[in-house]
Structure 1
Amino acid sequence: MSAIDETHDPARISWVASANGHSDFPIQNLPFGIFAPKGGHRRAGVAIGNHILDLAEITELLPAAAASTLQGPALNAMMALPRADRVGLRQRLSELLSDEAHRGAVEPSLYDAATCTLYLPASIGDYSDFYAGIHHADNVGRQFRPDNPLLPNYKYVPIGYHGRASSVRPSGIEVRRPNGQRKPLHEDVPSFGPSRRLDYELELGIWIGRGNALGEAIPIGTAADHIAGFCLLNDWSARDIQAWEYQPLGPFLAKSFQTTISPWLITAEALAPFRIPQPARPAGDPAPLPYLFDEADQQAGALALDLEVTLSTAAMRANGEQPVSLSRGPASNLYWTAAQIVTHHASSGCNLQPGDLIGTGTISTPKPGGYGSLLEISQGGKAPITLPNGETRTFLEDGDEVTLRAIGRAEGSVSIGFGECRAVILPAS
């Protein structure tokens, strides 16, 4: 696990004034991303307050091992750096942005974030999605199997499937409502057309750093060293298409049409102050199999993040009304840690590569108020919710805008955020 050092000092402030007290990007965060200034090309940057620092312009000020990985339009090579080199890069950036002595050399390379375009931080070779949010699995399972919501394998094996990397998009890119086959229970045969039950899923994304060779496993004790960082992830889901197609092989077109992520790589190093013990399993639950158990991971494998989902309809935006909060809850509501997910993914000899993306699965609470999807909130469409302006929803309508947010909070530490994971729904083509 990454250690807490001077870069996390709550007393450290930046000469970039907007960083001090910033809700997402104070100097204690320093997330990496790929951006382009107006009229410019894509390049690596670091978010600091309301600005983005162009790393390609200051490579001569950075450690040589890291500087060579920051020249292109993707962060895969930087993610693959040994942890010591990533720590050294973070420490140097923190020094450059806090010490006034460096201001003259660095300030010309700052861009107003509001004038920049953000892109995916990596070239994503593969994307896999897991089902590690036990309360989501339980809430959804009860709709179909009230007496046996979780299948027998759930508490033994991290459940996952291989998703579609080509349709991952950064925050702000619209989502086109998918077409597909749908067969409600009251219809005898399926029909083809726009999804009628479009939903979001509140997840964390895990970015792979150093990979593993084909045929080699990643031991649970070293799995954290293979995680470069995290993001927010919305695994949009067409529930009606999914219900018809998923048996026997699982999700396909119902989830492949688009996945939205927040564009900033929140590094494992930045999250060191927000490491907390993995919640204890309920009495009677099986212990993880030995290849998935590590005491250090159990003591610090979860994250103290507050998650929130908000909804803004087209009518709300037209009337200048604020988005409504649909759910709030902690990221610790995961049955498996990120390290366990990575270890299981590679346990068959599957080779993970720098820049691969893994979703945790929908993160929900056991009770209303923190459900991570409309499938849960509306009880499968049986209980419409009424918004403050009188509109109702069971699932998403065209023009709806969904935003995910996450804030890391810990006593004695400066809070850091992930930035927005946001998209508007467009009508089907």
Structure 2
Amino acid sequence: MPFSKLTPRALLAAATIALAACGGGGDDGAAQDNFAAIDALKEAGAADAVLADPNLPALIAPRKPQFAFLDFLKGRRLFERETFGGNGRTCLTCHSRETGTVSPQDAQHRFAANPADPLFLGDGSDDGLGHGATRMQQDATVLVRIALPDNVSLAQDPSARSVVLRRGIPSTLNTPALDEVLMLDGRQPDLLAQARGAIADHARATREPRPDELAHIAAFQQTPGFFSSTTTMKYAYLGVKPALPPGHSESEKRGRRFFVDAPLQGDLKTGLCSGCHSGPMLNETNEFIPAPPFRRGGRFQSVGVSEFNVAGNPVLDYVFRNADGSTTTISSADPGRALITGNAQDFESLNAFKIPSLWGAARTAPYFHDNSARTLEDVARHYAKFFSVVSPIVLTAEDQADMVAYMKLLR
């Protein structure tokens, strides 16, 4: 948005940030002032341009040396433009500035504009070889090849040492700076390994990225444009933990009770969602749900997505050789974390996936590892079905609407 079109309030906010640039802004108080200015710009609809300003990281996080100006420019170029001699994809191909991911609507618009868009190459095509773009436009899933653990085989093909699965593209909003668990199954140990794997597997690079290039990509993903709001940005840069908003409408206030950290009592609805969406980022378990035994801080759970298989993905029979010599055969559309741990007897592994943060969730549709929930309303309907199967809890239509109303507040 050109400055000539900004409202007076937006101009004042922009000026605040500009003055901070002149004055140094070297303490947390100045950083807080800059956050307040950014909030004002967001309300005025002009934040995107400011968040893209390469000077901003040093202003709001002056104690983070990795946010040097030249490093920012290098990281942005690598993320947005570098193909590493591959198939034409860059990081930006699959991780948009707006949502950090790709939705079916995004894919449809991009195909209409350019059927040769690199998004539809390789694992983004119907057969994995570059032919057809139907699946990407319908589900926005990519074909991910996962190596089978040594103790796991396929009943249909015992000689196979890998399996190809259909999975959504994890969002880069909030994740790089605030979530140490990377990928839907947690298979990458850090941002450098994640970038290296994506460049090799999805961009089909013909040259290996240098360590400094990987470091620049990782640092760039922790700059202001990769947060859903100043709420999560403040947590990353200043350590200010996000607080659950109180809610304004009656529906939002009713919805809040599902997300507060509290033991399950009465109708079992207060604290229900916080069983898996607890902690500052609302992405870890608490200890209040008794069966199966939950522990505080768990990051992987099955919530019936592979079991229900609404997406209609192919189901295979996986044979796990257990430590005692016995075998466990699991029929699944995607065993999730179990293909990383090799453990089909652990409820945090079998058909389990990373618990995502709820902050900014309204921006990152579709949902679940297979993109089977297109909207937050679909998510609520899924949980109504899930809890009807595993518990006596009945989520009414009003409950579901209240949950959705509240999740939309979690920016």
Instruction: Provide the TM-score with structure 1 as the length reference.
Output: 0.28
Q: Which one has the bigger strand percentage?
A: 1
Taking structure 2 as the reference length, the TM-score comes to 0.29
Flag the structure with higher helix content.
2
